[in-house]
Amino acid sequence: MRTGKSRLSSLLFISAVVTLLVSVTTFNQLPADHDLHVGNFMVSLLGKYLTYAILAVAVDLVWGYLGILSLGHAAFFALGGYAMGMYLMRQIGDRGVYGNPDLPDFMVFLNWTELPWYWSGFDSFAFTALAILLIPGLLAFVFGWFAFRSRVNGVYLSIITQALTYALMLAFFRNEMGFGGNNGLTDFKDILGFDLRSDQVRLGLFIASGVALIIVYLLCDSLLRSRLGKVAIAIRDAEDRTRFLGYRVERVKLTLFTLSAMIAGLAGALYVPQVGIINPGEFSPLNSIEVVVWVAIGGRGTLYGAVIGAMGVNYAKTWFTGAYPEAWLFALGLLFVLVTLALPKGIAGLHLFKSRNKPTGKMEPKT
Amino acid sequence: MSAVHGYRKPLIRRDRTFEFLIPQYVDDLDLSHGTALYLEDISVNFDGFQAIKDLNFYVNTGELRCLIGPNGAGKTTLMDIVTGKTRPDTGSAWFGQRINLLRMDEAEIAQAGIGRKFQKPSVFENLSVFDNLELSMTGTRSVWGTFRAKMNRQTVERIEAMAETINLTDQLNRVAGLLSHGQKQWLEIGMLIMQNPILLLVDEPAAGMTHQEMDKTVELLRSLAGERAVVVVEHDMEFVRALQAPVTVLHQGSVLAEGTMDDIQNNSNVMRVYLGTESTT
């Protein structure tokens, strides 16, 4: 019976995303002077929001349902982005500024003579696709293995995740790391042999992001609807009790945390070709905190809430930074405070959504 | 006495010469000697506070036992040790003859067949009563197993039967956080039974219950004993008396007295501890 409600909400969600994809694609085909024409800039912008939405779902999975407040998820996002960036750099070939067929421009600039070993393999898209999932997943696994086994919880875990992303940022800023230093990776030309700057490819990436969001949503939804999802909520609300029922809390946490990191990596990989650059700024601790704010505003503990939060806040950000650039951070802070005070369950907790909210997904605000 | 104190872990104990030969963890529970739980020479020290001191405590299979004692006597610490939450400084704890509890974590101990009800009713407040019982039910505990777990008619019937036993049939689809205090206590007892444990540790089951509810709880706990060993910690003396079970009195981390409720009430040591009066002998 409740499963039925959950099915309904996934159906609604999927139709909303599909409607977005179809309408944007249709309106994008209209002549440029038509009233309903959606420009290419807007397509890429929406594509970027969709990747943010995937990231928000990843954060919601561990925060909203498992109680792990990760303030370092941008690290997994950025790692996935870097993996994609490396592939795109290899696709440039000899069309770089220096025309070197073997080395990316920044390596030539640094007088490097050969490609570092960890760049090998990124010529192949299949390898890259694996790396996009496995590198963030591996980092999350190793990190989680130590953190969850020693039962690091709550604010301490959050601080460690911040430290993790900060350490990675400092590392990626260094030129000798071989990831382009503070300039990062950019000047991409092709993806899978298609010109990245063409309108069709941009539209294709937008659609791919939407499809990825649907797949990720369905995956998380099926997970949360299973008994494993109930165990996750049990861990969130009463970790000790769950342990005394015989569940290996650390294994559940490790599995979901690793999965969440892989989803974040996927989001980063879709993000990079659409914005055309990846640099160490993506690891900045502030980015991770911003994701948490999206999820809080949208409503943690509901997957669609996270998506609404990510898309809504980022749309507001785009508008605000255009109209009142210096006021944006104040507006975001105010929004966060207001939502926390007035809508502890976020936008998804509004009455409008309440009737199809499943009781298992809701969360009482903890002080 | 004080010479021995501080000499916590003697290198060699004459009764444990070949300790390394004892198998430390065996899958199957061996209760052939009729004892479900052995706690021997247990001591726990929390930063200078001696919570448990040289405690010996045995529970027979199928036995119903009450554990009483003033605040700070070590009752909850004892349960923590058995369920793996606290590690004692010295001593040994065995479940049956063959399972060494000190080598296992909470989840392993729970899977081996020891269930626990907490002092403060702790149910999963955001899950329905049904889900609470489903999670407690015996069965797979692995990540993949719980992801693939399917409900069938049999398991649903089992949960419904349990809901009837604990009087929560009409609350099955309600979120557990909305239950009354007494109903939460019942739900937690139900969750405990769903685990099908061999040893149940029940911490203050009667707190917050009305008289009728208490009578039903007594009935339920008494019916559980026999098949399972049940250890009940309770402050309410009326409740303890109603259980008609042997009573162990803890005081300052050691066993002060053991016997029937009448023996205990006439025991001069117990009177001294509880009433604060010197015995008049």
CB B93, CB B42: distance < 8 Å = yes
CA dihedral in degrees (B88, B89, B95, B97; nearest 10)? -170
pLDDT for res A359: 45
Q: Is residue A136 part of a domain?
A: yes
Bigger pLDDT: A225 vs B48: A225
Bigger pLDDT: A177 vs B13: A177
Inter-chain touch A227–B143, beta carbons under 8 Å = no
Is the pLDDT confidence value at A271 over 50? yes
> What is the pLDDT averaged over residues A270-275?
96
Query: pLDDT, tens digit, for every residue of A180-206?
Result: 999 999 999 999 989 998 889 999 999
> What is the pLDDT averaged over residues B127-134?
95
pLDDT for res A306: 95
At the fourth CATH level, which superfamily is domain B30-275? P-loop containing nucleotide triphosphate hydrolases (3.40.50.300)
- The DSSP element (H or E) to which B6 belongs, if any, is none
Is the pLDDT confidence value at B3 over 50? no
Q: Which of A2, A245, A251 sits opposite B135 (nearest CB)?
A: A245
> What is the pLDDT averaged over residues A326-355?
82
Q: Is residue A366 part of a domain?
A: no
> What is the pLDDT averaged over residues B6-18?
56
CB contacts, 8 Å: B123 with chain A = 238, 241
Is the pLDDT confidence value at A356 over 50? no
Q: How close does chain A come to B108, measured CA to CA in Å?
A: 6
Is the pLDDT confidence value at B53 over 60? yes
pLDDT for res B13: 60
Inter-chain touch B146–A243, beta carbons under 8 Å = no
CB contacts, 8 Å: A228 with chain B = 143, 146-147, 149
Residues with Cβ within 8 Å of A311's Cβ and at least 6 positions away in sequence, in order, are A49, A50, A52, A53
CB contacts, 8 Å: B127 with chain A = 230, 233-234, 237, 360
pLDDT band at B20 (very low <50, low <70, confident <90, very high): low
Inter-chain touch A248–B173, beta carbons under 8 Å = no
> What is the pLDDT averaged over residues A146-153?
93
Q: Is residue A220 part of a domain?
A: yes
Q: Which of B106, B111, B146 sits opposite A228 (nearest CB)?
A: B146
Inter-chain touch A227–B149, beta carbons under 8 Å = yes
pLDDT for res A355: 46
pLDDT band at B211 (very low <50, low <70, confident <90, very high): confident
Show the tokens assigned to B84.
């793996």
pLDDT band at B270 (very low <50, low <70, confident <90, very high): confident
> What is the pLDDT averaged over residues B215-235?
89
Bigger pLDDT: A56 vs A357: A56
Inter-chain touch A238–B85, beta carbons under 8 Å = no
Average pLDDT, chain A: 90
CB contacts, 8 Å: B116 with chain A = 244
CB contacts, 8 Å: B149 with chain A = 226-228
Q: Which of B111, B134, B195 sits opposite A227 (nearest CB)?
A: B134
Give the whole-angstrom CA distance, residue A72 versus residue A287: 8
A219 and chain B in contact, CB less than 8 A: no
> What is the pLDDT averaged over residues B122-148?
92
Q: Is residue A48 part of a domain?
A: yes
SS (H, E, C) chain A: CHHHHHHHHHHHHHHHHHHHHHHHHHHHHCCCCCCCCCCHHHHHHHHHHHHHHHHHHHHHHHHCCCCCCCCCHHHHHHHHHHHHHHHHHHHHHHHCCCCCCCCCHHHHHCCCCCCCHHHCCCCCHHHHHHHHHHHHHHHHHHHHHHHHHCCCCHHHHHHHHHHHHHHHHHHHHCHHHCCCHHHCEECCCEECCEECCCHHHHHHHHHHHHHHHHHHHHHHHHHHHCHHHHHHHHHHHCHHHHHHCCCCHHHHHHHHHHHHHHHHHHHHHHHHHHHCEECHHHHCHHHHHHHHHHHHHHCCCCHHHHHHHHHHHHHHHHHHHHHCHHHHHHHHHHHHHHHHHHCCCCHHHCHHHHCCCCHHHCCCCCC
Is the pLDDT confidence value at A170 over 90? yes
Is the pLDDT confidence value at B27 over 60? no
Q: Is residue A258 part of a domain?
A: yes
pLDDT for res B238: 87
Segments forming the whole domain that contains residue A355: 2-361
Bigger pLDDT: A308 vs B227: A308
Is the pLDDT confidence value at A68 over 90? yes
> What is the pLDDT averaged over residues B170-188?
91
Query: pLDDT, tens digit, for every residue of A209-236?
Result: 999 999 999 999 999 999 999 999 999 9
pLDDT for res B122: 87
Inter-chain touch B149–A251, beta carbons under 8 Å = no
Q: Which of B110, B118, B175 sits opposite A246 (nearest CB)?
A: B110
Is the pLDDT confidence value at A357 over 50? no
Q: How close does chain B come to A303, measured CA to CA in Å?
A: 17
Is the pLDDT confidence value at B280 over 50? no
**Structural domains counted in chain A:** 1
Query: pLDDT, tens digit, for every residue of A2-46?
Result: 455 667 888 999 999 999 999 999 998 888 888 888 888 899 999
Taking CB atoms and an 8 Å cut-off, how many pairs form between chains A and B?
Answer: 94
> What is the pLDDT averaged over residues B202-221?
87
pLDDT for res B17: 61
CA dihedral in degrees (A163, A363, A57, A336; nearest 10)? -70
pLDDT for res A258: 97
Average pLDDT, chain B: 85
What single DSSP character describes residue B250?
E
ipTM of the complex: 0.84
Is the pLDDT confidence value at A315 over 80? yes
Q: Is residue A367 part of a domain?
A: no
Give the whole-angstrom CA distance, residue B22 versus residue B96: 13
pLDDT for res B275: 67
Bigger pLDDT: A358 vs A144: A144
A248 and chain B in contact, CB less than 8 A: yes
Is the pLDDT confidence value at A365 over 50? no
A244 and chain B in contact, CB less than 8 A: yes
pLDDT for res B24: 52
Is the pLDDT confidence value at B250 over 70? yes
